Chain A
Amino acid sequence: QPLAARQAAELQSKVVPSKQILHSDNMEMEPETMETKSVTDYFSKLHMGSLVYSCTSKRKNK
């Protein structure tokens, strides 16, 4: 059947793809960088003075 053949060919030509098919949301981004704070940092700064003091005073006592 020539009509069927023609329509099958038409159908086939419809599936010739567009590059658009790949432009789904598959772009891969790099991770975010968050700024960090640490209790340990502040803690060590805060207590370093008194710690050093207590060590030196112990040594003096000896």
Chain B
Amino acid sequence: MFAIAMAVSLVFLSVSILVGLYRIIIGPSMPDRVIALDAIGINLIAMVAVLSVTFRTSAYLEIILLMGIIAFIGTVAFSKYIERGIIIESRRGD
């Protein structure tokens, strides 16, 4: 019963990632693709959480936090590139 619930949630998360992938491929503008990538990252975090429950281990819990940090920094970098055309400014105010 428990394994079935985990498998069902993994299938739903996979479907959600596929929908995000569709938005990345079709997405008419660049911000659409960035947001879809962010959503896929969040879904991957959820999949890691479900897998760590399935395998009955706490060894993956660091990976959850790590993927959250990496997804945040990547999204910030992408959005700054889209808005400014430059990711790291050398001087403030230009």
Bind each other:
no
Q: Give the interface of A toward B (CB within 8 A).
A: none
Q: Give the interface of B toward A (CB within 8 A).
A: none
